[in-house]
């Protein structure tokens, strides 16, 4: 049986770690908005990476150059996360 693990990408802030409001991944504005960035299956685990992204940043990443920066930062986080969680 596969195990779904949701991993949230957000900037560090003064907010509680498991609250519904978090700091936007790209600009630090407080938001409740998220997008599903990627799903990865490794062994018995399915990792679902969800990014806190404010409406302004969501609009900005529609541009190719901004999306590339956003994507690179997400990929770096995901690579480090998967390396440290023992998969």
User: Which among 44, 22, 30, 36 has a CA at the least distance from the CA of 74?
Assistant: 36
Tell me the per-residue pLDDT of 17-28, one tens digit each, with 9 for 90 and over: 888 999 999 999
- What is the pLDDT, as a whole number, of residue 86? 57
List of the chain residues with pLDDT < 50 = none
Tell me the per-residue pLDDT of 54-67, one tens digit each, with 9 for 90 and over: 999 999 999 999 99
Q: How far is CA 21 from CA 12, 13, 16, 62, in A?
A: 12, 10, 8, 23
């Amino acid at each position: 049986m596969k195990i779904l693990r949701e991993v949230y990408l957000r900037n560090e802030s003064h907010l509680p770690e498991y609250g519904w409001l978090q700091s936007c991944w790209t600009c630090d504005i407080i938001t409740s908005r998220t997008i599903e960035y990627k799903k990865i299956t490794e062994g018995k685990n399915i990792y679902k990476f969800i990014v806190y992204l404010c409406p302004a940043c969501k609009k900005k990443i529609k541009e190719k150059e901004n999306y590339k920066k956003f994507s690179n930062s997400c990929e770096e986080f995901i690579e480090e996360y998967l390396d440290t969680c023992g998969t």
